[in-house]
Amino acid sequence: MEKPMEKTEKFTVELIVSNHYGVLNRITGLYSRRGYNIDSLYVNEIENSETSRMIITSKGNEYIQRQIVRQLGKLYDVKNVTLMAQVEI
């Protein structure tokens, strides 16, 4: 659980996943089971019809960010997970 003194910030995770039915459900289920919210979700096919790119934006402290990246990396259909750097606008 989040410690009260830790800073909560918006973060973005980029995933390369297999383009199969049920993949989106497994990924959103992972967030749901752990009580994390998805602020935005973007999915599109890349290069071939076998893989897709997902970009997920959420909020959490550094511990939550690392935990989500680790858990997503354990899913079979996830080929690559990247915690994207935050850019101030």
Domain boundaries, given as residue ranges, for the chain = 17-84
pLDDT value of position 61 = 92
CA triplet 69, 74, 75: central angle to 5 degrees?
105
pLDDT value of position 87 = 53
pLDDT value of position 89 = 41
Of 1.10.10.10, 3.40.50.150, 3.30.390.30, 3.30.70.260, which CATH number belongs to 17-84?
3.30.70.260
Residues 6+ apart with CB under 8 A from 51: 16, 17, 18, 19, 45, 79
| pLDDT profile of the chain (89 residues), mean per 10 | 70 95 94 94 90 95 94 96 74
Q: What is the pTM assigned to this prediction?
A: 0.86
